[in-house]
Amino acid sequence: MNFATNWQYGGTGWNKGVNVNFSKDGDITQYATLENPFPVGFVGPQQGKYGPLTLWGYSNGNHGSNTFRNAEIYQWNFGIQRELPGNILIDANYSANRSTHLPWNYSTQNRNIISKANREKYGTAGLSALVPNPFQYLFTQVPGRPAPIFDVADSIYNDPMVPQIDLLRPYPQFTGSFSGFPEFIATSNYESLQVRFEKRLSHGLSFTGNYTFSKFIDDSDAGGNAWIGNIGFAGTPQDLTNLKAEKSVSANDTPQRLAFAAIYELPVGRGRALGKNMNRVVNGVIGGWQVNSVVTFQTGQPLVFSDSDGLLAGGTQRPNINGKACSNASVDAVVNGAANYFNVGNFSHPGDQVPGNLGRYIADCRGPGIHSLDFGISKRVQFKESMYLEIRGDFFNALNTPRFAFPDTTFGSDTFGVINSQANSPRHGQFGLRFAF
């Protein structure tokens, strides 16, 4: 097992981004040139002249992480396999995965988050209120004060008034949030029963299928998953001072999934049970056909909720939940005229700067699942041993079963709880001819 060393990228006080402005009036007149890109100069990096006070008045973007290390992944499984009469094979497996020291998403880079007590004490209005700047004399000359220490023209601490939230942060000498490395303390746990069944071709029939019953729990959405469409991610944690509250079922949690594919050769035609001596012309029309199908059933992924007011400094506020919001969630109810996918009356706003009691994802509150059937029919017309014509037709979503998109889950939105789109395509088919020689 390998562990990465904790490190911090260089640049504290020694680098600074500067843009070259070649024109100030839409390229009518030239302001700067390549020979003289900064006609009036620019504010350079502080370098080391302020010692421990380097970057005072700026947003600190150069902190490391004392949890920076490689992830640890543990996997274990156990399986049994059995062959049954009729060329049928079944195997069942218990499979599990536990991962630790995973990265939290980018938002946990913020080490200058205001405390929960101060958020609730001052509220949104108080946090954004402008108050006298106690550091102004350090940056600019103030009557009756000593000469300023810093020569940093673009710091907000040159202003006589500053937002109160900046003075209430753990490190008020730095403005705003910190950026750098995220915490590597996230975990995930996955357990599943995986059953595979297969029938080798006999009597014109073959099939294969997989059934999965699983539970997936994690506490961070460090990244999306490309193979799952129509899925929401929680993004910023609600309260960076209480990351344990982010533990829930994963965005990718799919308790049950069944996928089944079959091919059946119709018993009509030359050499088959019915019409084994059939005329070649007749056989070319009605004999030798085979059908195939793919069936998929899958439960929906859990929903993620947010509050449109978003009155929570440094986090994404979630609403309060009273009772079971999705105990009556039903696509059928929506199809039959219900206005909402779930009971919107069970949600409420938690209040200004107060975290909601709703979890990151809700295990019993899921979006619509998948019920899909694809169907195909094909045959070969054989002219010679190496010459044939293949005729086929394929129909996707053959029963024209809609898969509805996730409902609006932003509490306070006019369409909260409403499904207003479809996530899959309607039934469509294609026909093809292929001549091989």
pLDDT at res. 391: 92
In angstroms and rounded to an integer, the radius of gyration of the C-alpha atoms of the chain is 32
Q: Is residue 37 part of a domain?
A: no
Rounded to an integer, the average pLDDT of 219-236 is: 57
Q: Are 309 and 317 in contact (CB under 8 A)?
A: yes
pLDDT at residue 389 tops 50: yes
Spatial CA neighbour of 302 closest among 228, 364, 359: 364
pLDDT at res. 9: 42
Rounded to an integer, the average pLDDT of 270-280 is: 81
The pLDDT tens digits of the residues spanning 66-109 come to 667 788 999 999 999 999 999 999 999 999 999 998 877 655 55
Q: How far is CA 247 from CA 185, 194, 228, 390, in A?
A: 12, 25, 21, 54
Chain position carrying tokens 């019409």: 275
pLDDT at res. 225: 43
CA angle 237, 243, 244 (to 5 degrees): 130
Q: Is residue 111 part of a domain?
A: no
Domains in the chain: how many in total? 1
Q: Is residue 307 part of a domain?
A: yes
Average pLDDT, the chain: 83
Q: Are 209 and 260 in contact (CB under 8 A)?
A: yes
Higher pLDDT, 109 or 395: 395
Share of the chain above pLDDT 70, in %: 81
Note down the domain range covering 417.
Answer: 253-436
pLDDT at res. 7: 38
The pLDDT tens digits of the residues spanning 113-156 come to 888 889 889 999 999 999 999 989 988 888 988 888 877 777 88
Q: Are 390 and 436 in contact (CB under 8 A)?
A: yes
Spatial CA neighbour of 178 closest among 243, 128, 109: 109
The pLDDT tens digits of the residues spanning 36-68 come to 888 877 766 656 666 666 666 666 655 556 667
Q: Is residue 294 part of a domain?
A: yes
Q: Is residue 292 part of a domain?
A: yes
Q: What is the pTM of this model?
A: 0.76
Q: Are 387 and 431 in contact (CB under 8 A)?
A: no
The pLDDT tens digits of the residues spanning 285-323 come to 888 899 999 999 999 999 989 998 877 887 888 999 987
Q: Is residue 400 part of a domain?
A: yes
pLDDT at res. 341: 87
pLDDT at res. 5: 36
The pLDDT tens digits of the residues spanning 145-193 come to 888 887 777 788 889 999 999 899 888 887 777 666 667 888 999 999 9
Number of H helices, E strands in the chain: 5, 16
